Structure 1
Amino acid sequence: MSLRQVTTEIERTLRRYPGIARARVLRDTDGKLVAQVLPWGTHSVTADTGVLAELAVMNMAETRFLHDEIFVDEVYLRGGIVLRENAVVFDVGANIGMYSLFIEARCPSARVYAFEPIPEVFAKLQENIGERGLTTRSFEYGLSDREQEVSFYYYPDISIMSCRHDYTNWDNEVELIKLYVANERQSGPPGRAEHLAEVEALAGKDFEFVERRCRLRPMSAVIDEVGVRAIDLIKIDAQRAEHDVLRGIEDRHWPLIQQISMEVHDEAASPTEGRVKQVTELLVEKGFRVSVEVEEMLRGTGRYAVYAIRPGYDRDPRPVVAAAGTSHAVEPGLVADWLSDRLRPDLVPDRIVVVDALPEPLPES
């Protein structure tokens, strides 16, 4: 094998290690193999365009947004939500799989079931799962209150805005983009001017959409089919269809669900007005403790984060693997041991170094 073939194989394997976003392998002046690894979950990941370029993406600006929302701001891991060892997680509205990557990085023992109805976006989800070697099980349909096939408007330029055609509110989406940029410029981290300019430019575009017929199913039908006995966490981001998703859970299955982390649309002077109250009342009726937050970068957009936890879940004997603000450092020794189980001895790097950024590769000689 050539040096490039060797380093490529090691780098591809390292990207499958929970917590590693990107890797670069090279030889030092003594001829030793050195692996440099960049962990997920820092703003340096967003700045290092190579990380996101290695993903199958729809649009780089929205991919940066998704990364920061999920990995940096940990929006689905707030309100007391935790990930326990061997957790079962339903990812409703999986998009390209960023949340699946997050679960793999923070709770590698978890079983993830990811749902994405739009074919083009589902294909990217499949690529990212396959490239990283994730154990996530993916389903090319969405979840709703009943079995049906409905029309979706898919926006290739900004896929996260895609939704059922009858739930479209494009004026609100444009306002969301503008408010997000304004909020981030005022209180967000430094060094993101180029990214915010790209996002802001989206608001001025005349978006083209493609109409797709997509399948929707009730969650209870899926629970019966996959045979899970408990669900530790349901994450829902379904573009105004979140209440439909909850209504697809039959009474007999509610006791199986321990936590829910969801985005809820409650937009003034629209069909979603009052939705937070509606969802909260349903979850309280089903026995959950519920809290509502407004994500700082989405303040004023009509998007709310709703967290529901079943009383008594804190007594679950399984250890908590991940909670907000408690990410574990990538340890070189543990990474080396993990590689030893997956690579020939001569391919295991002599040294592993955790870095804040990665150099670009040298051109082939």
Structure 2
Amino acid sequence: MSTTPNFGKQLRYIQSRLYSGRVRQIIRKTGLNKLLSKPFWQLVYALSENTQTQEIANQSIDFRTDTFTEFMRFRNLAGESSVVEDLLNKLDSDDIFYDIGANVGTYTCFAAAELGPGRMVAFEPEPENADHLRENLELNDLDAEIIQIALSDTDGTIDLALTGDEAGEGEHAIATGNTERTLEVDTARGDSLLEDRELPKPTVLKIDVEGAELSVLRGLRETLRQNCRLVYVEVHPEKIRGFEAEVSEVETLLTDAGFEVTELSQRGSEVFLRASM
């Protein structure tokens, strides 16, 4: 990819000037926005440098964009900037943050910048995503422990369904049916893993595990009751049914553990929940 950023920036500027008002209405009404959007952003990506900078709540983070998938993820933080901002505004200096389903590090990097060394643990079982997560941490001189295990309510192994060929794909999930491409990964109950590895006890969790939310929470029952004060969960209503679970069970588990659950935002069918003490 080219390392001359001006062309990419100029294209974005032209788009912002032209794609407004009446023009925007016509393009959306005719469906041209869907037809033209991907080719436009592919051109911007090709003409941009291989990093993007995002700033939220006074924290500025550089992210590598070696793939088009990563470029699109970090262009608008996959529609999650308001959730990231809410998290950063609620972190205390003595918090320990676990990013469960860290992908390539959006939440990990912002939280690590806010909290400093020794207070960040990221769980990402997919090897390529984990490698890019390390690169993003190194790019910003940030510290986090990365554990390549899928948290669950059982110890063992499980097949991870791979949905794309590029780092940053956000939909790798535990396979629940016939899947063409899978990767066997280790699983562990969160409560057991904390004891076995003598990890610092988390006070804040973020969970994005593409339908396996309830399994992760069940494996962290004791941790939720004893240590946590704040939990962010991205719930996938359609995918969670593949695990023979319902969204209401996630909310019930959290309320039974003493949390008050609030719906922060929604992206398509996906719901972002915040559970606080």
TM-score normalised to the size of structure 1? Answer: 0.53
Is the 2:65–2:71 contact (alpha carbons within 8 Å) kept by the matching residues of 1? no
- SS of residue matched to 2:263: strand
> Following TM superposition, by how much is the alpha carbon of 1:122 offset from its aligned partner in structure 2, in angstroms?
1.2
Structure 1 segments of 4+ aligned residues over 4 angstroms from their partners = 55-58
Counterpart check, 1:254 vs 2:264: no
What residue number does 1:60 align with?
70
Structure 1 residue aligned with 2:119, among 95, 111, 115?
Answer: 111
SS at match of 2:170: helix
Listed one character per residue, the Cα deviations across residues 20-48 of structure 1 (whole Å, up to 9, x for unaligned) are xxxxxxxxxxxxxxxxxx76239xx99xx
Mapped to 1, the partners of 2:136 and 2:142 lie a distance apart of 8
Report which structure shows greater RCO (CA 8 Å, sep ≥6). Answer: 1
Kept in 2, the 8 Å contact 1:81–1:261? The answer is no
What RMSD in Å do the two structures reach over aligned CA positions? Answer: 3.3
Q: Aligned residue for 2:270?
A: 303
2:270 partner amino acid = R
CA 1:96–1:58 in 2, change beyond 3 Å: closer, same or farther? Answer: farther
- Quick check: 1:75 aligned with 2:112? no
> In 2, distance between residues paired with 1:249 and 1:140?
17
Partner of 1:240: 211
Structure 2 distance, partners of 1:127, 1:142, is 20
8 Å contact from structure 2 (residues 230, 275) kept in 1? yes
| Match runs of 1:1-365 below 5 Å | 40-41=55-56, 52=63, 54-55=64-65, 59-64=69-74, 67=77, 69-70=79-80, 73-78=81-86, 82-108=90-116, 111-154=119-162, 155-157=164-166, 159-166=169-176, 210-227=181-198, 230-251=201-222, 254-267=225-238, 270-271=241-242, 275-295=246-266, 298=267, 301-310=268-277
Cα distance, 1:120 vs structure 2: 1.5
Distance in 1 (CA, whole Å) between partners of 2:156 and 2:120 is 24
Cα distance in 1, alignment partners of residues 227 and 239 from structure 2: 34
Deviations 1:42-101 (A, max 9, x none): 9xx99xxxx54x45557234422562534xx23145499710012100000011112111
Counterparts of 2:94 and 2:161, CA distance in 1: 36
Contact 1:58 1:156 in 2 (8 A): no
Larger radius of gyration: 1
**8 Å contact from structure 1 (residues 93, 116) kept in 2:** yes
Which deviations, in whole Å up to 9, do the C-alpha atoms of 1:304-351 show, x marking residues without a partner?
1111111xxxxxxxxxxxxxxxxxxxxxxxxxxxxxxxxxxxxxxxxx
Between the two proteins, what is the percent identity of the paired residues? 21
Give yes or no for contact 1:57–1:63 (8 Å, CA) kept in 2: no
Sort the Cα spacing of 1:98 and 1:66 in 2 relative to 1 into closer, same or farther, 3 A. Answer: farther
Alpha carbons of structure 1 residues 65 and 238: separation in structure 2 relative to 1, 3 Å: farther
Give the structure-2-normalised TM-score.
0.68
Deviations 1:173-202 (A, max 9, x none): xxxxxxxxxxxxxxxxxxxxxxxxxxxxxx
In structure 2, how many angstroms separate the alpha carbons of the residues matched to 1:249 and 1:287?
A: 14
In structure 2, stretches of 5+ residues that fail to align are 1-52
Q: Which residues of structure 1 form unaligned runs of 5+?
A: 1-37, 171-208, 311-365
Paired positions, count: 221
Q: 1:166 offset after TM fit, Å? A: 1.0
